[in-house]
Chain A
Amino acid sequence: MNVRDALNSALDEEMSADPKVFLMGEEVGEYQGAYKVSKGLLEKYGPERVLDTPITEAGFTGIGVGAAYYGLKPVVEFMTFNFSMQAIDHIINSAAKSNYMSAGQISVPIVFRGPNGAAAGVGAQHSQCYAAWYGSCPGLKVLSPYSSEDARGLLKAAIRDPDPVIFLENELLYGESFPVSAEALDSSFCLPIGKAKIEREGRDVTITAFSKMVGLALKAADILAKDGISAEIINLRSIRPLDTPTINASVRKTNRLVTVEEGFPQHGVGAEICMAVVEESFGYLDAPVERIAGADVPMPYAANLERMAVPQIEDIVRAAKRACYRSTAMAATA
């Protein structure tokens, strides 16, 4: 099952289970979704529950938030999360803060979902990771699936959750297939929000990643294994709340940490993870924490520059070796 179908089936099942759930966004209906995630839903649920909106993010996001205030469970699709910038006032000020400002009277059960992170060749305004942006805001929950199982289990959890959830997908993963267990295919399947998954156990170094970077980290672990380094790969799944106990337990075992993310380095997810480890497991660290992040520049367009601007498998391998005090080759010049 590929990630696209996993998301589609999760939406389908949750819409079928609860008539208060509806999907709105640009091209989600007749076009079947800009990335075909909502394929078939218009036919099944009709235009009342699969709403094609005009290109007005501030307006329709606010409408979704208002609908959630008043008893519905909207799923708002952003064609990409870059467009959520147009609506960030409603995500932060209207959705995230209302339960608090109203002292619990107005909860906002809403999901904002869509592709996030670097796509390919689309330039600076369309290639950006928002995990750290939304992860810094109290009142929001931020999820980022990697596999098909993640996509199904986390999206279903997000829709059932009583709070606003930012659901960061990745365009480049939509077509990727993963084996899915029978349990994960059951319509009652749901993953807990706030719990990371150890994708691969290891002894020598902990590597944290989310979304597409989990795949790169797993490939890096294969390469490291050939050099006799056993890497433990943690798929964060949830950016906020962050599963710091799982990360700390792993670091206490491996004594080394490499964080991987696509976003900008400063004030990023890696910085937060590093702090959580310094606070709780400082004495266990045998090496400086390594941070692999996107380059601190707007995404360049040229293919060679773009490749340099996002983390690559060899970057992760090199950082893990440094953390294990193994000699490393210099970064290849492009």
Chain B
Amino acid sequence: MASSFLSSGIIQPLPLRSPDKPQPLFDHLKATSTFLGSTSKIRSVSLSKPNLPNPHRRSTVVAVSDVLKEKKTKSAASSSHLLITREEGLELYEDMVLGRAFEDMCAQMYYRGKMFGFVHLYNGQEAVSTGFIKLLKKEDCVVSTYRDHVHALSKGVPARAVMSELFGKATGCCRGQGGSMHMFSKEHNVLGGFAFIGEGIPVATGAAFTSKYKREVLKEDCDEVTLAFFGDGTCNNGQFFECLNMAALWKLPIVFVVENNLWAIGMSHLRATSDPEIWKKGPAFGMPGVHVDGMDVLKVREVAKEAIQRARRGEGPTLVECETYRFRGHSLADPDELRDPAEKAHYAARDPITALKKYIFDNKLASEAELKAIEKKIDEVVEESVEFADASPPPPRSQLLENVFADPKGFGIGPDGSYRCEDPKFTEGTAHV
């Protein structure tokens, strides 16, 4: 199975730049724009220095262990050797427990017929969502896939709004118009769950482009970062490569987060991908590529911190491959017959929530009673979300034609010569549209 790179830990082929010693990839272009919309300046530079080697080729591959060692000695100089504070530990634990309990409840509700269609659960992958998203500011963006409930929760969308959306109710975060695979929240900058492989990556890259545009063209104070989440299956899709290229080319503030759960539905990653080490594709496009144990929220968080800070500093994108595993089938409709029980057991034993709990106890960050209290609180939140969703009304008929356009004049002009949307009865039926 994937053991060839299971043990590799964090690999960082390009040195992550430290803030005190900035070394932008394209520093010879600093005088002009990093958008590279115009190459006229590049031409003159390269003409005057015809022997200047390609800066990409000059970057030396640094063994990750060295970088980590260096980091460790640095952090050892500070007061604590711990990776997290007590407060941080409790926050991470609560978020992961919420993700798990919410998805377990979704499965129950799906089998009870309360939700319908395709429902893809996140169980097992919580360390990735929590490890990354809990480091974000509210203004930062998250773009997800069809497996998007937990990303939305981590970003702060209330559980009741997500559950209600899944129930197809008017109180859902998209008033029942989105559904399981399409969670949006403008307030929380969740720019969508996307149902197609690869579709969210350009959208996320566009959000990152906007942050840069706001800073450089609109002169706004904007250091927002976008996280694009997607799976291993997507990494064989052209949009992934197209956007790695443009994000690196334009130095966009984005982190490409691969949730490599080793399986694209029933297609093993190893059977689908010529070189299964996805992180290697980062350096190929001139950005750092990092591999991290996606079952360990603290390791994910360390890598995420560096990648997010790098993006915030304006130093461009990072590709992070989180090796993780989903504890359930691809969706609730997937019989999950192809994955080896031994493989499932191997990862089940590495449950990221259990691992965090152990770290918290080993380092005496919190007591068992405190974690129990969190679990109880989350159970109540999830129970309440179901009660809320169940009691909520379905969308009214009048909602059917709402939001097709931001400007409903898009429905055109009716037989009486006025805009159809101006007719108060317009949304009561579809016959005359």
Contacts and interface: CB of A to CB of B under 8 A. Distances in A.
A334 to B, nearest CB: 39
Nearest to A20: B218
B184 A102 contact: yes
B217 to A, nearest CB: 5
A75 to B, nearest CB: 13
A99 B205 contact: no
A96 to B, nearest CB: 9
A70 B40 contact: no
Given A101-B174, A245-B413, A66 B217 contact: no
A47 B419 CA distance: 40
Contact of A66 (B206, B407, B412, B416): B206
Interface string A141-171: 1000000000000000000011100000000
B206 A139 contact: no
Nearest to A63: B206
Given A63-B206, A90-B199, A241-B413, A102 B192 contact: yes
Interface stretch (B108-116, B239-247, B291-299): B239-247
A183 interface: no
A89 B178 contact: no
A98 interface: yes
B317 to A, nearest CB: 13
A270 to B, nearest CB: 18
A50 interface: yes
Nearest to B402: A104
A280 B38 CA distance: 54
Interface string A288-322: 00000000000000000000000000000000000
B38 A194 contact: no
B368 to A, nearest CB: 41
B199 A67 contact: no
B189 to A, nearest CB: 8
Contacts of B246: 53-54, 56, 59-60, 63
Interface of B: 32-33, 35-40, 141, 143, 174-179, 182, 184-187, 191-192, 194-196, 198-199, 201-211, 213-214, 216-218, 238-239, 242-243, 245-246, 249, 402-407, 409-417, 419
Given A59-B242, A63-B203, A245-B413, 11 more contacts: A46-B33, A47-B37, A48-B37, A50-B37, A66-B202, A66-B205, A67-B206, A103-B174, A162-B407, A194-B412, A245-B414
Q: 6 shortest A-B CB distances, which residue pairs? A: A62-B202, A66-B206, A47-B37, A241-B412, A59-B242, A102-B184
